[in-house]
Amino acid sequence: MQTTKALLVTPVLICSCTRGLISSVSASLLSRPEATSKQPSPSSSSLQVARWEFQTSVVSQDIDTAAKFFGAGAAIVGVTESGAVIGTVFGSLIFDYARNPSLKQQLFSYVILGFVLSEAMGLFCLMVAFLILFAM
């Protein structure tokens, strides 16, 4: 019989102790060092809660920074592809010139066109990477 009474009393004691502990912990966490001299009013407690939620934005800033780096890295892939295409274009020029030297001028104009288009695409990808990193 006594054990049943003890079990019934214990949850009540736990609830009252927990409420007191939570209120003291939340008051100590939400109070600012400069705000400890004055008593907070009920209207300023909502402001303090807003400050508390604002302080957790460091994690979202880290996620935003990581997303910027991933996006810039994906945009840089286009720059590396541009370098590979330029190498392929000039390699093809050498190969085709060795097969048919009489087409030198026509092949060279096609190579310059391919080089310009590939380099423009690479610079565009580099510009997008810099925009992701520094403009957003």
pLDDT (tens place) for every residue of the chain, 136 residues total? 455 544 444 555 455 544 554 454 444 445 555 544 555 555 555 555 555 554 556 677 888 889 999 999 999 999 999 999 999 999 999 999 999 999 999 999 999 999 999 999 999 999 999 999 998 7
pLDDT score at 28? 47
Is this structure's pTM higher than 0.75?
no
Task: Look up residue 10 and give its two tokens.
Answer: 């214990």
Nearest by Cα to 96 from 114, 82, 113, 110: 110
Complete domains list, the chain, with CATH: 58-134 (1.20.20.10)
* Closest by Cα among 88, 82, 79 to 110: 88
CA-based nearest residue to 131, from 47, 58, 55, 75: 75
List Cβ neighbours of 115 (8 Å cut-off, separation of 6 or more).
Answer: 86, 89, 90
Non-local CB neighbours of 46 within 8 Å, separated by 6+ positions: none
